[in-house]
Amino acid sequence: MSETQPIWIKDPLAILADGAERGVVVSEGHIVELVGAGQGPMTPGTAVFDATAHVVIPGLINTHHHFYQTLTRAMPAAMDRELFPWLKALYPVWARLTPEALDLAVTVAMAELMLSGCTTTTDHHYVFPSGLEDAIDIEVAAAQRLGLRVLLTRGSMNRSQRDGGLPPDSVVQDEDTILADSARLVAKHHQRGPDAMVQIALAPCSPFSVTTSLMRATADLAEKLDVRLHTHLAETEDENRFCEEIHGCRPLDYLEQCGWLNHRTWLAHGIFFNVDEMKRLGKAKTAISHCACSNQILASGCCPVCEMEAAGVAIGLGVDGSASNDGSNLMQEVRAAFLLQRARYGVGRVSHRDALRWATQGSAACIGRPELGEIAVGKAADLALFKLDELRFSGAGDPLAALVLCAAHRADRVMIGGHWRVIDGSIPGLDVTELIRNHSAAARQLQAG
């Protein structure tokens, strides 16, 4: 079938959409029709994709990651530590990152995400040692090679140990360099409008690695360039103590003082907000990326997702970096968030549908892309199709619930902007065996020093 011809994804086993029992029609990158029970498509000249073996859901959206960390997964020197000592063990390793190693790391992370049903991802890259000034350009090129929709954030750190921060001097940059490069990247790569495939946001790393001056200047630049803002906040008790000691206030007060408490901002983690702070977040339309696996591995805590949603805060999901997950599988993250939040709130308040909603519509709200994350007419043709032909699904009753309850981990087909980017569980043109060989060698070299 030609890629310009409308495609009827016909008679799915199940679909996460109302009134689409007989499937959807996609054309020119968008969903143009839902086909209800007992009907056929109104769109003329459709090619047919037989989906009778597939469960169809909106493409999953990942709202927090650090791609480069695939090079430091399960690294013994950093294992079994909480956030601050974990970071201190890893900063010197990350300071040795090269453009070649980053390219491999990014390709691995993106491929893992796509094969798990992800159609849009963010990345938060904040390590720019000498020689790696083009890190975000490398990420853009990889996304375009793979056909993945991305919101890449230009991260930054400028408060090193010399200035009372956590990172060593070798991984920070000065404020002027950071702001100039941020403006350069937005001008060069940021696409606007509902069909955008590459977008750029600005993302100082955290209150303990960035100066107040840079936080404020970044908010001003984001306003001027009309792009989004991202950072880590309220991840650990250590961070609360740091904020009280250095700034004399709690992290959310600090965020507000820096001009960040607004609709442009989405925050990774958001574990330690009190009820009043959640209301302020909801009122400001600041969203939260919930990173269930990372929060459990680093024993940081549990994001109070139900209270947040009740306060009007949009919740998305993020796999977080592969040194604290240590995977990039977004479907597994859906299950992890479901399990963690169900344990916290009980069976009556958290269902598999909630977890899927966080990873789709919730994540779309985090990144300011309302045209993504839903199967409805006019939305982007970003879809993930899963087959239930593995042992883990055998005997399952509800096909949609089975994705979460029986631990789906691999999509059979993924469509991004109307193009099939995963076919039969593989990414066409990507030699995974060779990628693993080269990436593993780069990881060994980086970790050895």
Q: Does 326 bind Zn ion (CB under 5 A)?
A: no
**Which part of the chain contacts Zn ion (CB under 5 A), choosing from 9-17, 83-91, 144-152, 313-321?**
313-321
* CA atoms within 13 Å, Cβ hemisphere of 415: 29
Whether 136 and 154 have beta carbons less than 8 Å apart is answered as yes
| Position closest to Zn ion via CB | 320
Measured from the CB atom, the residue of 46 and 322 that comes closer to Zn ion is 322
Q: Least distance to Zn ion from the beta carbon of 294, Å?
A: 7
Judged by beta carbon, residue 227 or residue 293, the one nearer Zn ion is 293
H or E, element range at 307:
helix 305-310
E-state strands within 238-286: 265-269
CA–CA dist 438, 101 (Å, integer): 9
Nearer to Zn ion, 20 or 268 (CB): 268
Chain residues 64-103 in contact with Zn ion, contact rule CB under 5 A: none
Q: Are 141 and 198 in contact (CB under 8 A)?
A: no
In whole angstroms, the minimum distance from the beta carbon of 69 to Zn ion comes to 9
With contacts defined by CB under 5 A, name the span among 175-183, 281-289, 314-322, 345-353 that binds Zn ion.
Answer: 314-322
Q: Closest distance between Zn ion and the C-beta of residue 157, in Å?
A: 13
CB of 22 to Zn ion, least distance (A): 41
Picking from 361, 342, 353, 333, the residue whose alpha carbon sits closest to that of residue 400 is 353
How many chain residues are in contact with Zn ion, going by CB under 5 A?
Answer: 1
Which CB, 203 or 356, lies closer to Zn ion?
203
Is the backbone peptide bond immediately before 176 cis, with ω within 30 degrees of 0? no
The residue among 20 and 293 lying less far from Zn ion, judged by its C-beta, is 293
Name the helix (H) or strand (E) containing 337: helix 330-345
Residues 371-410 close enough to bind Zn ion by CB under 5 A:
none
- Smallest separation (angstroms) from Zn ion to the CB of 65: 8
Which residue from 320, 354, 382, 412 is in contact with Zn ion, where contact means CB under 5 A?
320
Q: Which is nearer to Zn ion, 320 or 354 (CB)?
A: 320
Residue 358 DSSP symbol: I
Are 5 and 45 spatial neighbours (Cβ–Cβ below 8 Å)? yes
Q: Name, in order, each residue with C-beta under 8 angstroms of 62's C-beta and a sequence gap of 6 or more.
A: 113, 118, 120, 121, 122, 317, 318, 319, 328, 330, 333, 363
> How far apart are CB 320 and Zn ion at their closest, in Å?
5
Contact residues toward Zn ion (CB under 5 A) are 320
